[in-house]
Chain A
């Protein structure tokens, strides 16, 4: 069965440093991979989508890579700020509009 793994341990990082989160998947060949941010008591918020034929995608201080050989996506937050503290979820999908299966999320805590 499909398995999506994110580091369940919280990532503590100093303000200004780069946070790197990992999303690994098995028994799955997604065409897309999405990343979401979730704050306590709120629904997930869409951040970025990367396609299987894209190696890298950027949005402001965020960067996502997608390696279909390694079956892995990396999510980077550069020049991290305390406001970046949240849980980040990855979600691969097969096609547009198709159902998303989410990883367990990684909590990031940026300390000033």
Chain B
């Protein structure tokens, strides 16, 4: 199993541009999570899905952020327009519906907005 796959690995963009981050979860995992990590705020949950349905998006900072999961094998996190304060590492994670196995995280996307 290749694990959770995120792309791109690094993204540098100018303020005001649209940014799309991608995630492929592990096959058979019913839950998918998007996290953001910064030195100041640590690891913050943005949104999570269960069986492709968004369950809790209370962590999404503002309307500039949106996430979709059109099928069980793909999810996107979009920021439009991007701002310098969005600079962070964005992680996608997936987990099976039963406990005991924890989450499997991707390698993350390091986003820099200049």
Instruction: Answer whether A and B are interacting partners.
Output: yes
Residue numbers of A with Cβ under 8 A of B are 32, 34, 36, 42-47, 49, 51, 89, 95-97, 99-105
Q: Given the complex, which residues of B lie within 8 Å of A49, measured CB to CB? A: 99-102
Task: Report the interface size for chain B: residues with CB under 8 A from the other chain.
Answer: 27
Write the chain B residue with the least CB distance to A42: B107
Max chain B CB contacts within 10 Å: which of A32, A34, A45, A97?
Answer: A97
Are A43 and B50 neighbours in the complex by a CB distance under 8 Å? no
User: Which residue of the partner chain B has the closest CB to A101?
Assistant: B45
Q: Which of B76-111 contact A (CB under 8 A)?
A: 91, 93, 95-108
Please determine whether A105 and B42 come into contact, CB atoms closer than 8 angstroms: yes
What's the minimum C-beta distance from A28 to chain B, rounded to whole angstroms? 15
4 new A-B contacts at CB < 8 Å, known A44-B43, A97-B30, A101-B45: A34-B103, A43-B4, A43-B93, A89-B43
- The A-B contact count (CB < 8 A) is 57
Contact of B33 among A47, A99, A104 (CB under 8 A): A99
Kindly list chain B residues whose C-beta atoms are within 8 Å of the C-beta of A101: 45
B18 part of interface (Cβ distance < 8 Å): no
Closest to B95 in A: A97
Q: Could you tell me if B99 and A32 are in contact, using CB atoms closer than 8 angstroms? A: yes
Residues of B within 8 A of A104 (CB): 42
Mind listing 13 A-B residue pairs with CB under 8 Å?
A: A32-B99, A43-B4, A43-B91, A43-B93, A44-B91, A44-B103, A46-B102, A49-B100, A51-B99, A95-B99, A96-B98, A97-B30, A102-B42
